A and B are shown apart, each in its own frame.
Chain A
Amino acid sequence: MSTNDQANAITTRSAPPGEVGQVVSALGNELKTSSVPRRRHDLTVHELDGEALIFDAKSADTHRLNMTACFIWRLCDGRHEPREIAETLTRHFDVDFDEALEHTERMLDEFTGRQLLAENELVPGAARSAGGDPAEDGQRGDR
Protein backbone atom coordinates (compact mmCIF):
# COMPACT_ATOMS: atom_id res chain seq x y z
CA MET A 1 0.00 0.00 0.00
CA SER A 2 2.01 2.97 -1.21
CA THR A 3 1.45 6.62 -0.35
CA ASN A 4 0.42 7.17 -3.93
CA ASP A 5 -2.01 4.30 -3.67
CA GLN A 6 -3.63 5.89 -0.66
CA ALA A 7 -3.72 9.37 -2.15
CA ASN A 8 -5.48 8.17 -5.31
CA ALA A 9 -7.71 5.59 -3.71
CA ILE A 10 -10.96 7.20 -4.82
CA THR A 11 -11.61 9.39 -7.82
CA THR A 12 -14.95 11.08 -8.17
CA ARG A 13 -16.58 12.92 -11.00
CA SER A 14 -19.95 14.63 -10.87
CA ALA A 15 -22.16 14.59 -13.92
CA PRO A 16 -22.13 17.79 -15.95
CA PRO A 17 -25.01 20.14 -15.05
CA GLY A 18 -27.00 19.41 -18.18
CA GLU A 19 -26.73 15.69 -17.66
CA VAL A 20 -28.20 15.46 -14.19
CA GLY A 21 -31.72 14.19 -14.52
CA GLN A 22 -32.79 14.23 -10.92
CA VAL A 23 -30.54 15.67 -8.32
CA VAL A 24 -31.71 15.03 -4.82
CA SER A 25 -30.64 17.36 -2.09
CA ALA A 26 -27.44 16.42 -0.43
CA LEU A 27 -27.88 14.41 2.70
CA GLY A 28 -25.55 16.70 4.58
CA ASN A 29 -22.77 15.66 6.83
CA GLU A 30 -24.86 13.89 9.39
CA LEU A 31 -23.85 10.54 8.01
CA LYS A 32 -21.32 8.90 10.18
CA THR A 33 -19.31 5.80 9.70
CA SER A 34 -21.20 3.16 11.54
CA SER A 35 -19.32 0.89 13.84
CA VAL A 36 -20.21 -1.83 11.36
CA PRO A 37 -20.08 -0.02 8.03
CA ARG A 38 -22.49 -1.11 5.37
CA ARG A 39 -22.59 -0.18 1.70
CA ARG A 40 -25.62 1.60 0.32
CA HIS A 41 -27.68 -0.98 -1.52
CA ASP A 42 -28.92 1.39 -4.22
CA LEU A 43 -25.57 2.05 -5.90
CA THR A 44 -24.55 0.57 -9.22
CA VAL A 45 -21.20 -1.14 -8.75
CA HIS A 46 -18.94 -2.62 -11.38
CA GLU A 47 -15.78 -4.42 -10.37
CA LEU A 48 -13.08 -4.43 -13.01
CA ASP A 49 -9.90 -6.38 -12.33
CA GLY A 50 -10.03 -5.70 -8.60
CA GLU A 51 -10.91 -2.03 -8.90
CA ALA A 52 -14.44 -0.67 -8.87
CA LEU A 53 -16.64 1.90 -10.52
CA ILE A 54 -19.60 3.08 -8.50
CA PHE A 55 -22.46 5.09 -9.94
CA ASP A 56 -24.73 6.95 -7.54
CA ALA A 57 -27.97 7.65 -9.39
CA LYS A 58 -29.15 10.01 -6.66
CA SER A 59 -26.28 12.42 -7.07
CA ALA A 60 -25.27 11.34 -10.59
CA ASP A 61 -21.73 11.04 -9.25
CA THR A 62 -19.36 8.34 -10.43
CA HIS A 63 -16.55 7.08 -8.23
CA ARG A 64 -13.56 4.96 -9.04
CA LEU A 65 -12.01 2.87 -6.27
CA ASN A 66 -8.52 1.54 -6.63
CA MET A 67 -7.66 -1.97 -5.47
CA THR A 68 -7.20 -1.17 -1.81
CA ALA A 69 -10.28 1.00 -1.60
CA CYS A 70 -12.24 -1.68 -3.43
CA PHE A 71 -10.99 -4.32 -1.01
CA ILE A 72 -12.21 -2.28 1.95
CA TRP A 73 -15.45 -1.49 0.14
CA ARG A 74 -16.22 -5.18 -0.25
CA LEU A 75 -15.87 -5.62 3.49
CA CYS A 76 -18.40 -2.89 4.22
CA ASP A 77 -21.13 -5.49 4.40
CA GLY A 78 -22.65 -4.68 7.78
CA ARG A 79 -20.78 -7.58 9.39
CA HIS A 80 -17.25 -6.26 9.85
CA GLU A 81 -16.01 -3.62 12.22
CA PRO A 82 -13.14 -1.39 11.12
CA ARG A 83 -10.68 -3.37 13.20
CA GLU A 84 -11.70 -6.58 11.47
CA ILE A 85 -11.37 -4.94 8.09
CA ALA A 86 -7.88 -3.79 9.07
CA GLU A 87 -6.97 -7.30 10.20
CA THR A 88 -8.09 -8.68 6.88
CA LEU A 89 -6.03 -6.03 5.09
CA THR A 90 -2.91 -7.19 6.91
CA ARG A 91 -3.46 -10.70 5.51
CA HIS A 92 -3.71 -9.50 1.92
CA PHE A 93 -1.35 -6.54 1.76
CA ASP A 94 2.14 -5.91 3.02
CA VAL A 95 1.06 -3.67 5.86
CA ASP A 96 1.06 -3.84 9.67
CA PHE A 97 -2.11 -3.59 11.71
CA ASP A 98 -1.73 0.04 12.83
CA GLU A 99 -1.15 1.23 9.31
CA ALA A 100 -4.00 -0.91 8.01
CA LEU A 101 -6.37 0.46 10.65
CA GLU A 102 -5.38 4.03 9.88
CA HIS A 103 -5.94 3.40 6.19
CA THR A 104 -9.25 1.66 6.82
CA GLU A 105 -10.53 4.53 8.93
CA ARG A 106 -9.43 7.03 6.32
CA MET A 107 -11.21 5.06 3.61
CA LEU A 108 -14.37 4.79 5.70
CA ASP A 109 -14.28 8.55 6.17
CA GLU A 110 -13.92 8.93 2.41
CA PHE A 111 -16.84 6.58 1.79
CA THR A 112 -18.92 8.49 4.30
CA GLY A 113 -17.97 11.84 2.84
CA ARG A 114 -18.98 10.63 -0.59
CA GLN A 115 -22.20 9.21 0.84
CA LEU A 116 -21.47 5.69 -0.26
CA LEU A 117 -22.40 4.04 3.04
CA ALA A 118 -25.85 3.41 4.40
CA GLU A 119 -27.02 5.86 7.01
CA ASN A 120 -25.73 5.32 10.50
CA GLU A 121 -27.09 2.00 11.48
CA LEU A 122 -25.62 -0.08 14.21
CA VAL A 123 -26.07 -3.73 13.69
CA PRO A 124 -25.63 -5.23 17.12
CA GLY A 125 -24.09 -8.63 17.04
CA ALA A 126 -23.82 -8.64 13.30
CA ALA A 127 -20.09 -8.50 13.33
CA ARG A 128 -18.21 -11.74 13.74
CA SER A 129 -21.10 -13.64 12.26
CA ALA A 130 -19.47 -15.52 9.47
CA GLY A 131 -15.87 -16.16 10.30
CA GLY A 132 -13.31 -16.92 7.59
CA ASP A 133 -12.03 -14.29 5.24
CA PRO A 134 -14.89 -12.16 4.00
CA ALA A 135 -12.72 -10.67 1.30
CA GLU A 136 -12.82 -14.03 -0.38
CA ASP A 137 -16.48 -14.81 0.01
CA GLY A 138 -17.21 -14.20 -3.61
CA GLN A 139 -19.07 -10.92 -3.27
CA ARG A 140 -18.66 -9.18 -6.57
CA GLY A 141 -20.39 -5.86 -6.27
CA ASP A 142 -23.93 -4.99 -5.49
CA ARG A 143 -25.70 -5.30 -8.78
Chain B
Amino acid sequence: MKTRYFQIGAVGTSLTSDRRDVLEEYLGLYRKYLVDVAPAWRTDIQVLRKPLRFPHRRRYEVIANRRTRYEPARRDEIYPYVEWAINFEVPRTMPEYLQLHASTLQVGDEGVIFPGGSGSGKSTLTTGLVASGFRYLCDEFALIHADTLMLAPFPRAICVKKPSYEAVESVGVSMSGVRHYYKGTKGYVGYVNPLSIRPDAVGESCPIRWVIFPKYQAGEEPRLTPISRAQAAFDLHRVCFNLLSCRTIGLDVIAGMIRGARCFQLVSGEIKATCELVKDLVGERMSLAAAG
Protein backbone atom coordinates (compact mmCIF):
# COMPACT_ATOMS: atom_id res chain seq x y z
CA MET B 1 0.00 0.00 0.00
CA LYS B 2 1.47 3.33 -1.01
CA THR B 3 0.38 6.91 -0.37
CA ARG B 4 1.19 9.96 -2.46
CA TYR B 5 0.41 13.56 -1.58
CA PHE B 6 -0.61 16.30 -3.99
CA GLN B 7 -1.22 20.01 -3.76
CA ILE B 8 -3.28 20.80 -6.84
CA GLY B 9 -3.69 24.55 -6.66
CA ALA B 10 -5.80 25.28 -3.60
CA VAL B 11 -6.83 21.65 -3.17
CA GLY B 12 -4.74 19.17 -1.21
CA THR B 13 -5.25 15.44 -1.71
CA SER B 14 -3.67 12.15 -0.87
CA LEU B 15 -4.07 8.97 -2.85
CA THR B 16 -3.48 5.58 -1.28
CA SER B 17 -3.83 2.36 -3.20
CA ASP B 18 -2.78 -1.24 -3.25
CA ARG B 19 -2.76 -0.94 -7.04
CA ARG B 20 0.40 0.50 -8.44
CA ASP B 21 -1.24 1.22 -11.80
CA VAL B 22 -3.82 3.44 -10.13
CA LEU B 23 -1.10 5.52 -8.50
CA GLU B 24 0.86 5.68 -11.76
CA GLU B 25 -2.20 6.80 -13.63
CA TYR B 26 -2.81 9.63 -11.18
CA LEU B 27 0.85 10.59 -11.25
CA GLY B 28 0.67 10.72 -15.02
CA LEU B 29 -1.72 13.67 -14.73
CA TYR B 30 -0.58 15.26 -11.48
CA ARG B 31 3.16 14.64 -11.14
CA LYS B 32 3.80 18.38 -11.15
CA TYR B 33 1.70 18.73 -8.01
CA LEU B 34 3.37 15.92 -6.05
CA VAL B 35 4.52 17.05 -2.59
CA ASP B 36 6.57 15.26 0.05
CA VAL B 37 4.67 16.53 3.06
CA ALA B 38 0.98 15.87 3.54
CA PRO B 39 -1.01 19.07 2.94
CA ALA B 40 -2.62 20.23 6.17
CA TRP B 41 -6.04 20.46 4.54
CA ARG B 42 -6.66 17.63 2.17
CA THR B 43 -9.01 14.96 0.96
CA ASP B 44 -7.71 11.45 1.59
CA ILE B 45 -8.61 9.05 -1.17
CA GLN B 46 -8.08 5.32 -1.02
CA VAL B 47 -8.58 2.96 -3.94
CA LEU B 48 -8.72 -0.66 -2.83
CA ARG B 49 -9.47 -3.93 -4.54
CA LYS B 50 -12.29 -5.86 -2.94
CA PRO B 51 -11.69 -9.48 -1.96
CA LEU B 52 -12.34 -11.94 -4.73
CA ARG B 53 -14.44 -14.11 -2.45
CA PHE B 54 -17.33 -11.83 -3.36
CA PRO B 55 -17.18 -12.23 -7.12
CA HIS B 56 -20.78 -11.17 -7.58
CA ARG B 57 -20.08 -7.83 -5.97
CA ARG B 58 -18.27 -4.79 -7.29
CA ARG B 59 -14.55 -5.19 -7.41
CA TYR B 60 -13.12 -1.89 -6.19
CA GLU B 61 -13.72 0.63 -3.47
CA VAL B 62 -13.10 4.35 -3.69
CA ILE B 63 -12.93 5.73 -0.16
CA ALA B 64 -12.87 9.45 0.58
CA ASN B 65 -11.94 10.62 4.06
CA ARG B 66 -12.54 7.11 5.43
CA ARG B 67 -16.00 6.73 3.93
CA THR B 68 -16.70 4.43 1.01
CA ARG B 69 -18.10 6.63 -1.72
CA TYR B 70 -18.10 4.42 -4.79
CA GLU B 71 -17.70 0.76 -5.67
CA PRO B 72 -16.77 0.69 -9.35
CA ALA B 73 -17.03 -2.64 -11.11
CA ARG B 74 -14.71 -1.81 -13.96
CA ARG B 75 -11.08 -0.87 -13.99
CA ASP B 76 -11.76 2.03 -16.36
CA GLU B 77 -14.31 3.50 -13.95
CA ILE B 78 -11.84 3.98 -11.11
CA TYR B 79 -10.24 7.24 -12.14
CA PRO B 80 -13.53 9.12 -12.82
CA TYR B 81 -14.76 7.98 -9.42
CA VAL B 82 -11.56 9.23 -7.77
CA GLU B 83 -12.20 12.63 -9.35
CA TRP B 84 -15.83 12.53 -8.27
CA ALA B 85 -14.85 11.60 -4.73
CA ILE B 86 -12.53 14.60 -4.56
CA ASN B 87 -15.22 16.84 -6.02
CA PHE B 88 -17.64 15.56 -3.42
CA GLU B 89 -15.29 16.26 -0.56
CA VAL B 90 -14.08 19.71 -1.62
CA PRO B 91 -17.23 21.60 -0.52
CA ARG B 92 -17.15 19.76 2.82
CA THR B 93 -13.50 20.27 3.59
CA MET B 94 -12.88 23.79 2.30
CA PRO B 95 -15.49 26.05 3.91
CA GLU B 96 -13.30 29.10 3.41
CA TYR B 97 -14.20 28.94 -0.27
CA LEU B 98 -17.52 29.48 -1.95
CA GLN B 99 -17.81 26.83 -4.59
CA LEU B 100 -19.73 27.24 -7.80
CA HIS B 101 -20.30 24.76 -10.58
CA ALA B 102 -18.25 26.52 -13.22
CA SER B 103 -15.13 26.33 -15.28
CA THR B 104 -12.61 29.05 -14.58
CA LEU B 105 -9.87 30.69 -16.58
CA GLN B 106 -7.47 33.59 -16.30
CA VAL B 107 -6.69 36.20 -18.89
CA GLY B 108 -4.08 38.81 -18.05
CA ASP B 109 -4.54 39.15 -14.34
CA GLU B 110 -8.32 38.79 -14.49
CA GLY B 111 -10.51 35.80 -13.78
CA VAL B 112 -13.25 34.56 -16.09
CA ILE B 113 -15.85 32.11 -14.88
CA PHE B 114 -18.22 30.05 -17.00
CA PRO B 115 -20.95 28.80 -14.66
CA GLY B 116 -23.13 25.97 -15.78
CA GLY B 117 -24.24 22.45 -15.14
CA SER B 118 -23.31 19.31 -16.98
CA GLY B 119 -23.95 19.59 -20.70
CA SER B 120 -23.54 23.35 -20.91
CA GLY B 121 -20.35 22.84 -22.88
CA LYS B 122 -18.04 24.45 -20.37
CA SER B 123 -15.27 21.84 -20.49
CA THR B 124 -15.07 21.88 -24.28
CA LEU B 125 -15.09 25.66 -24.29
CA THR B 126 -12.45 25.70 -21.57
CA THR B 127 -10.18 23.43 -23.57
CA GLY B 128 -10.61 25.60 -26.65
CA LEU B 129 -9.85 28.78 -24.74
CA VAL B 130 -6.75 27.30 -23.11
CA ALA B 131 -5.58 26.34 -26.58
CA SER B 132 -6.29 29.97 -27.59
CA GLY B 133 -4.07 31.46 -24.91
CA PHE B 134 -6.21 31.66 -21.79
CA ARG B 135 -4.73 30.23 -18.62
CA TYR B 136 -6.48 27.37 -16.93
CA LEU B 137 -7.79 27.32 -13.37
CA CYS B 138 -10.42 24.57 -13.26
CA ASP B 139 -13.06 22.89 -15.41
CA GLU B 140 -15.48 22.04 -12.62
CA PHE B 141 -15.34 24.51 -9.73
CA ALA B 142 -15.05 28.19 -9.21
CA LEU B 143 -13.35 28.35 -5.83
CA ILE B 144 -13.90 31.87 -4.50
CA HIS B 145 -12.17 32.79 -1.27
CA ALA B 146 -14.83 34.08 1.11
CA ASP B 147 -12.65 36.87 2.52
CA THR B 148 -10.58 38.04 -0.43
CA LEU B 149 -13.11 37.18 -3.20
CA MET B 150 -10.15 35.91 -5.22
CA LEU B 151 -10.62 33.02 -7.62
CA ALA B 152 -8.35 30.12 -6.68
CA PRO B 153 -6.88 27.57 -9.08
CA PHE B 154 -7.72 23.89 -8.92
CA PRO B 155 -6.06 22.79 -12.15
CA ARG B 156 -7.38 19.25 -12.30
CA ALA B 157 -7.23 17.42 -15.60
CA ILE B 158 -9.91 18.64 -18.01
CA CYS B 159 -12.65 16.07 -18.47
CA VAL B 160 -13.70 15.88 -22.13
CA LYS B 161 -16.64 13.72 -23.16
CA LYS B 162 -16.09 11.47 -26.15
CA PRO B 163 -18.67 13.25 -28.35
CA SER B 164 -16.60 16.43 -27.88
CA TYR B 165 -13.27 14.91 -28.96
CA GLU B 166 -13.67 16.17 -32.51
CA ALA B 167 -14.38 19.72 -31.37
CA VAL B 168 -11.42 19.70 -29.02
CA GLU B 169 -9.12 18.33 -31.71
CA SER B 170 -10.29 21.07 -34.09
CA VAL B 171 -8.64 23.62 -31.81
CA GLY B 172 -5.37 21.70 -31.83
CA VAL B 173 -5.68 19.57 -28.70
CA SER B 174 -4.85 15.98 -29.55
CA MET B 175 -6.95 13.28 -27.91
CA SER B 176 -5.05 10.42 -29.54
CA GLY B 177 -2.72 9.76 -26.62
CA VAL B 178 -5.39 10.32 -24.01
CA ARG B 179 -6.66 7.34 -22.08
CA HIS B 180 -10.41 6.82 -22.12
CA TYR B 181 -12.52 6.08 -19.09
CA TYR B 182 -16.09 5.08 -18.47
CA LYS B 183 -17.95 7.71 -16.45
CA GLY B 184 -21.41 6.28 -15.86
CA THR B 185 -24.20 8.21 -17.52
CA LYS B 186 -21.71 10.59 -19.15
CA GLY B 187 -20.33 7.69 -21.19
CA TYR B 188 -16.67 7.62 -22.19
CA VAL B 189 -14.45 10.53 -21.30
CA GLY B 190 -10.81 11.49 -21.62
CA TYR B 191 -8.77 13.58 -19.20
CA VAL B 192 -6.55 16.22 -20.75
CA ASN B 193 -3.60 17.49 -18.77
CA PRO B 194 -3.71 21.28 -19.32
CA LEU B 195 0.09 21.36 -19.22
CA SER B 196 0.09 19.15 -22.30
CA ILE B 197 -1.72 21.95 -24.16
CA ARG B 198 0.79 24.60 -23.14
CA PRO B 199 3.57 24.40 -20.55
CA ASP B 200 2.43 27.72 -19.10
CA ALA B 201 -1.26 26.91 -19.29
CA VAL B 202 -2.03 26.96 -15.59
CA GLY B 203 -2.99 30.28 -14.03
CA GLU B 204 -2.94 31.62 -10.52
CA SER B 205 -5.21 33.27 -8.00
CA CYS B 206 -6.94 36.35 -9.47
CA PRO B 207 -9.99 38.62 -9.08
CA ILE B 208 -13.11 37.74 -11.08
CA ARG B 209 -13.87 40.28 -13.79
CA TRP B 210 -16.02 38.28 -16.19
CA VAL B 211 -19.00 36.00 -15.55
CA ILE B 212 -20.22 34.28 -18.69
CA PHE B 213 -23.02 31.71 -18.63
CA PRO B 214 -22.50 29.32 -21.54
CA LYS B 215 -25.21 27.28 -23.16
CA TYR B 216 -24.22 24.97 -25.97
CA GLN B 217 -26.63 24.89 -28.88
CA ALA B 218 -25.42 22.81 -31.81
CA GLY B 219 -25.40 24.70 -35.09
CA GLU B 220 -26.17 28.06 -33.51
CA GLU B 221 -24.25 31.20 -34.30
CA PRO B 222 -22.37 32.02 -31.10
CA ARG B 223 -23.54 35.21 -29.44
CA LEU B 224 -23.11 37.12 -26.20
CA THR B 225 -25.89 38.94 -24.37
CA PRO B 226 -25.18 41.27 -21.46
CA ILE B 227 -27.15 40.55 -18.30
CA SER B 228 -27.53 42.52 -15.09
CA ARG B 229 -25.30 41.80 -12.14
CA ALA B 230 -28.36 40.95 -10.03
CA GLN B 231 -29.50 38.37 -12.55
CA ALA B 232 -25.99 36.94 -12.77
CA ALA B 233 -25.72 36.78 -8.98
CA PHE B 234 -29.11 35.09 -8.74
CA ASP B 235 -28.15 32.54 -11.39
CA LEU B 236 -24.77 32.00 -9.73
CA HIS B 237 -26.32 31.15 -6.40
CA ARG B 238 -28.29 28.43 -8.16
CA VAL B 239 -25.08 26.65 -9.11
CA CYS B 240 -23.48 27.05 -5.70
CA PHE B 241 -22.45 23.85 -3.92
CA ASN B 242 -22.14 25.33 -0.43
CA LEU B 243 -24.32 28.41 -0.21
CA LEU B 244 -25.16 27.71 3.43
CA SER B 245 -22.11 25.78 4.55
CA CYS B 246 -19.56 28.31 3.36
CA ARG B 247 -17.89 30.13 6.24
CA THR B 248 -19.51 33.37 5.17
CA ILE B 249 -23.06 33.73 3.89
CA GLY B 250 -22.71 32.57 0.31
CA LEU B 251 -24.83 35.33 -1.15
CA ASP B 252 -22.56 37.93 0.45
CA VAL B 253 -19.59 36.42 -1.35
CA ILE B 254 -21.43 36.31 -4.67
CA ALA B 255 -22.69 39.89 -4.32
CA GLY B 256 -19.26 41.15 -3.35
CA MET B 257 -17.59 39.37 -6.22
CA ILE B 258 -20.14 40.32 -8.87
CA ARG B 259 -19.78 44.06 -8.23
CA GLY B 260 -16.44 43.98 -10.01
CA ALA B 261 -17.54 41.77 -12.91
CA ARG B 262 -19.18 42.16 -16.28
CA CYS B 263 -21.84 39.54 -16.91
CA PHE B 264 -23.08 37.83 -20.06
CA GLN B 265 -25.00 34.89 -21.39
CA LEU B 266 -23.23 33.02 -24.15
CA VAL B 267 -24.86 30.83 -26.74
CA SER B 268 -21.99 28.65 -27.85
CA GLY B 269 -21.93 26.80 -31.11
CA GLU B 270 -18.96 25.83 -33.22
CA ILE B 271 -15.97 25.84 -30.92
CA LYS B 272 -13.56 28.01 -32.91
CA ALA B 273 -16.13 30.72 -33.57
CA THR B 274 -17.19 30.64 -29.93
CA CYS B 275 -13.61 30.99 -28.72
CA GLU B 276 -13.06 33.92 -31.08
CA LEU B 277 -16.17 35.63 -29.76
CA VAL B 278 -15.01 35.28 -26.16
CA LYS B 279 -11.51 36.42 -27.10
CA ASP B 280 -12.98 39.50 -28.76
CA LEU B 281 -14.87 40.29 -25.57
CA VAL B 282 -11.79 40.15 -23.38
CA GLY B 283 -9.40 41.00 -26.21
CA GLU B 284 -7.82 43.97 -24.51
CA ARG B 285 -6.78 41.76 -21.62
CA MET B 286 -5.41 39.14 -24.01
CA SER B 287 -3.17 41.77 -25.60
CA LEU B 288 -1.96 42.98 -22.24
CA ALA B 289 -1.18 39.43 -21.19
CA ALA B 290 0.81 38.81 -24.37
CA ALA B 291 2.71 42.08 -23.97
CA GLY B 292 3.47 41.30 -20.33
Contacts and interface: CB of A to CB of B under 8 A. Distances in A.
Given A13-B234, A53-B251, A55-B249, A48 B258 contact: yes
Given A13-B237, A53-B234, A48 B244 contact: no
B179 interface: no
B interface bracket (residues with beta carbon within 8 Å of A): 10 to 19
**A-side interface mostly:** strand
A66 B234 CA distance: 11
Residue in B228, B238, B258 whose Cβ sees the most chain A Cβ within 10 Å: B228
Contacts, number: 55
Contact of B252 (A21, A46, A48, A51): A46
Interface string A36-59: 000000001010110111010100
Contacts of A19: 242-245
A31 interface: no
Contacts of A13: 234, 237-238
A44 B252 contact: yes
Contact of A11 (B234, B251, B254): B234
Given A13-B238, A53-B255, A46 B249 contact: no
B229 interface: yes
Given A44-B252, A46-B251, A64 B244 contact: no
A52 B245 contact: no
A57 B251 CA distance: 11
Interface residues of A, number: 20
Given A15-B244, A20-B244, A44 B238 contact: no
Given A48-B259, A51-B230, A53-B230, A62 B245 contact: no
A45 to B, nearest CB: 9
Interface of B: 228-231, 233-234, 237-238, 242-245, 249, 251-252, 254-255, 258-259
